[in-house]
Chains A and B, each alone.
Chain A
Amino acid sequence: MTGSDAMVKCLEREGVKAVFGYPGVAIAPFYNSMLSAEGIESVLVRTEQNAGHAASGYSRVTGEVGVCAVTSGPGATNLITGIATAYADSIPMVCITGQVDSQLLGSDVFQEADITGAVESFVKYSYLVKNVKDIPRIFREAFHIANTGRRGPVLIDVPIDIQNAELNNFDYPDEVSLRTYKPTVKGNAAQIKKVVKELKKAKRPLICAGGGVILSGAQRQLCEFASRCQVPVVHTMMGIGVMPSNHGMYYGMVGNNGKVYANVAMNEADLLIMVGARVADRAVNQPDLITENKILVHIDVDPAEIGKNAASTIPLVGDAKNIFNDLLEEDLSMDHSNWIDTLDGYKKRMVAKRNPDPAYVDPAEFVRLLSDNMEEDAIYVADVGQNQIWSCANYVMKKGRFLTTGGMGTMGYSIPAAMGAKKALGKKAQVVAVCGDGSFQMSFMELATMNQHGINAKVIVLKNNYLGMVRQYQHFTYNDNYSVVDLSGSPDLEKIAEAYSIPFVRIENMDGIVDKIKAFLADDKTALMECIIDPMDLV
């Protein structure tokens, strides 16, 4: 067998079902071997960045490693934004890049790019394969590294001569033995006892859950823990979906785009359990001041996150699910009803009032109605911009998932990520991407991929003819001196839908909106919805 046959065999052994990618000469041997792959489909994206986002969406709904494969040079550099986005959100991915002949490395031949060097600060690890014999070990390690500890992307760069080289023995290792990589996933027992002790002493305890809780699949444990100790829960943007919106202990999203009462709860808490969250700038305005009036318990699988932005009182390294399971073994009888009553009061009082113009679709109310009318276990994929903030603030969480890119904030994420998620789930779940007209124009080429591969995600565009988030920033910061935010010249979305042969619906105001949403969601077919929103609206 050749090196490229071995690469495909490795993917089969890892149970990979889909590879999102874009071929080129330097990865041609791999794609040739993919023709005889068993149970793996190659999905041809329309630009490499979207291969990364699609693999991310695929991974986030399955918990498996997302895989993408692109060619050398521009193929690889185009993928970087996808990799960086996944890295910022700790999404496990294996990215395979073709590379020029290993004998020519460093001589700047056609389509040569030092991709392992270029992605160094965006990957958990990277490999440049120099010997065909290393392929099985490297692939085994890459999948292990990507999906353990703090998850993240791993890149494997394979020169074309290595892909073509003969490999006599394909021996796929059962175990990974890396002396430098042994992530701590089990929480320290003494620290866990300390957390419970402090929790019992606390008058105003609060849990702030981040994306790490979802990555470790600890949503159920979190809900049980919160219910049993009667501790209110707030969450970061990446933590949307840790808890159903109607859960008794649910108090919304924190941060500069979050709920006022959630932020007040953060400020007033005397004990804060941060779990799977980085205490990053968008969630906590002044992370270094957060411990001034409270005990901070910081739970994270990455020891470097603990103490990076805020000094914790009780650091607790480990996987959120393991730690919650251990916590649930403890005696958790306690009463915080006064605190809960206070928060309930805040929740009632501190409701942000909107004054939507009835001539348009109100994006906030639209998101609430949309998510409420989606199937219970549907996947909602939010893009970046004002649309993201409306989505985050108004999404009704039931049993589904909410995907967005909180760390990198990459525009154009929602359509390819929804495509990846739908590819993974097929008829099992409804998938809806919600984006703005800026992000739509960055990624709508993937409607072709969806057509080609029978991937039926719904796409909704909140259209205001502006790069709304920047316009809003210029409104506040530069007194409405708008610079380069006008999206005039944008295409007619109805014609775009027609060009891709998909159904289209335009909604211009809130009249009969629920029926229109229901009709749009009724079948399992790709469709495009355009909602005309007030160009001057603010989040």
Chain B
Amino acid sequence: MKKIYSVLVENRSGVLSKVAGLFARRCFNIDSLAVGETDDPQVSCMTIVSSGDKKTLEQIEKQLNKKLDVIKIKTFDEPDSIPRELMLVKVKYNKTNRRDIMEICEAMKADIVDMSKSQMMIQICDRPCRTQTLINLLSSISIVEIARTGTLALPKCTD
């Protein structure tokens, strides 16, 4: 089972290490973790994706709540949210596969953001499963390096 935790924390030094340390110490998984400041510079938002059984996922929320630097936690599943991941992929290309790459990018709504004579950099911002699809598609071509943000997500809008 996967869960997304949107955790508002005090924007202080050492908080990331405390939260990451909690996951390590209690053997909780971190599938991905992304941190950034919110509109309030004193508050950061950590988006943590974790997986485990129901009991573990419940413990994660309870243990996070015990941390005195944690202000608020929202827990949700992927279908109830808008999850996004930004990924940059650098690939090697040549005359024969250039068209294929460009077609893949078009189909996946990915952009070519940089290019040299032998390499191009592709950017995608989409649901995490789609970024994975792009990796799968490009893996037959030679991938040089990849950087990805991990999942960011917010629960869907309500009235």
Contact = CB atoms under 8 A, between A and B. Distances in A.
B59 interface: yes
B65 interface: yes
B25 A307 contact: no
Contacts of A128: 14
Interface string B47-81: 00000000100110011011111110000000000
B17 interface: yes
A125 interface: yes
A99 to B, nearest CB: 14
Contact of A121 (B25, B58, B59): B25
B33 to A, nearest CB: 17
A400 B22 CA distance: 38
B126 interface: no
Nearest to A178: B68
A180 B68 contact: yes
B109 interface: no
A161 B14 CA distance: 21
A116 interface: yes
A308 interface: yes
A177 B70 CA distance: 15
Contacts of B98: none
B58 A307 contact: yes
Contacts of A120: 17-18, 21
A308 B68 contact: no
B63 A311 contact: no
A489 interface: no
Could you say which of B14, B25, B65, B70 has the most chain A C-beta atoms within 10 Å of its C-beta? B14
Could you say which of B10, B21, B58, B62 has the most chain A C-beta atoms within 10 Å of its C-beta? B62
A145 B21 contact: no
Interface in A257-311: 302-304, 307-308, 311
Chain B contact-residue range equals: 10 to 19
Contact of B55 (A116, A121, A181, A307): A307
A307 B10 CA distance: 27
Nearest to A120: B21
A137 to B, nearest CB: 14
B109 to A, nearest CB: 40
Nearest to A302: B66
A117 interface: yes
A181 B63 CA distance: 13
A124 interface: yes
A324 to B, nearest CB: 24
B71 A179 contact: yes
Nearest to A141: B68
Contact of B63 (A117, A145, A180, A304): A304
B68 A304 contact: no
Contacts of A124: 68
Could you say which of A121, A128, A302, A311 has the most chain B C-beta atoms within 10 Å of its C-beta? A121
Given A180-B71, A307-B55, A117 B17 contact: yes
Nearest to A288: B55
A304 B71 contact: no
Contacts of A304: 59, 62-63, 65-66
Contacts of B62: 303-304, 307-308
Could you say which of A125, A145, A179, A180 has the most chain B C-beta atoms within 10 Å of its C-beta? A180
B55 A311 contact: yes
Interface in B26-63: 55, 58-59, 62-63
Nearest to B68: A125
A116 B68 contact: no
Given A303-B62, A304-B62, A308-B59, A121 B21 contact: yes
B44 to A, nearest CB: 13
B14 A145 contact: no
Nearest to B61: A304
Could you say which of A125, A302, A304, A311 has the most chain B C-beta atoms within 10 Å of its C-beta? A304
Nearest to A308: B59
A180 B69 contact: yes
Contacts of B17: 117, 120
Contacts of B10: 180
A492 to B, nearest CB: 44
Interface of A: 116-117, 120-121, 124-125, 128, 145, 178-181, 302-304, 307-308, 311
Given A121-B22, A307-B55, 10 more contacts: A120-B21, A121-B25, A125-B68, A128-B14, A180-B69, A181-B68, A303-B62, A304-B62, A304-B63, A304-B66
21 contacts: A116-B14, A117-B14, A120-B18, A124-B68, A178-B68, A179-B71, A180-B10, A180-B68, A180-B69, A180-B70, A181-B68, A302-B66, A303-B62, A303-B65, A304-B59, A304-B62, A304-B63, A304-B66, A307-B55, A308-B59, A311-B55
Interface of B: 10, 14, 17-18, 21-22, 25, 55, 58-59, 62-63, 65-71
Question: Lowest 10 A-B CB distances belong to which pairs?
Answer: A304-B62, A125-B68, A121-B25, A180-B71, A180-B68, A181-B68, A120-B21, A304-B63, A304-B66, A303-B62
